[in-house]
Amino acid sequence: MFERLIAYLDSIRARDPAPRSRWEILLYPGLWAMAFHRLAHWLYEGDLFFLARAVNHVGRFFTAIDIHPGATIGRHLFIDHGFTVIGETAEIGDNVTIYQCVTLGGTNPANGVAGKRHPTLCDNVIVGSGAQILGPITVGARARIGANAVVTDDVPEGATMIGLKARSTLVPAETWLKEFLPYGTPCEEPCAPVGSDRLDALEAQLAQVQAEIAALKQRPGDMPAPSRRRTRS
């Protein structure tokens, strides 16, 4: 057990440059949220649903991270900061990184239908801050979800998703970077800004107007002469 804890702390330190020691990581809310969840999930699997919920509420109070006791979570999940919600039927693989204000939620909670309704995150997924991953979809291994992206469709392995509604930047899976990449949206990848075509067209129109104005200034004879005031003799 002690060796597993040390491996968990080291996995977090490898993804976060802030802590100076393992002792500092022991104060992380994400680590405590996982500790509460392990106990709550054990009670949940034993059909002690009320006690599982009670532990869940205590954990949420202290960490601002709400993980349903029914969620299935693998090894070395790193939740950096709080205000994250993980639904009941969510499944998370190994070495997943989730930043603050992320939701792994359902798309239609009003229909009262049980079953798989939350996403599945495969191994080594990175979810940027503010991202919303909704519905019983699968996020492939090594995929990266950009900050504030809203994902409602399956994500291919190794893809990077950005925008609202999220779309893939079409980065081939074989080009993924092997080192850890925080926040999931590297600036070196071909993430063209939204509306760039329209911006280019406006800049071209502006350049044309400026050229026409410059041409008119070089032809003073075509400009109307200034009016002169008549003076009395």
The domains of the chain are located at 2-196
Pairing between strand 84-86 and 160-163?
unpaired
Over the chain, what is the mean pLDDT? 85
Flag whether pLDDT at 129 surpasses 90: yes
Q: Give CA–CA dist 53/37, Å, rounded.
A: 10
Give CATH superfamily name and number for 2-196. Hexapeptide repeat proteins (2.160.10.10)
Q: How many residues does the chain have?
A: 233
For residue 165, whether the previous peptide bond is cis, meaning omega lies within 30 degrees of 0, is: yes
What value does the mean pLDDT take over residues 86-98?
96
Q: What is the largest CA-CA distance in the chain?
A: 112
Helix (H, G, I), strand (E, B) or coil at 222: helix
Flag whether pLDDT at 232 surpasses 80: no
Flag whether pLDDT at 172 surpasses 60: no
- What tokens appear for 132 in the block? 């919303």
How does pLDDT run across 44-73, given as a tens digit for each residue?
999 999 999 999 999 999 999 999 999 999
Q: Give CA–CA dist 107/104, Å, rounded.
A: 10
Percent of the chain scoring above 90 in pLDDT? 64
Predicted model pTM: 0.73
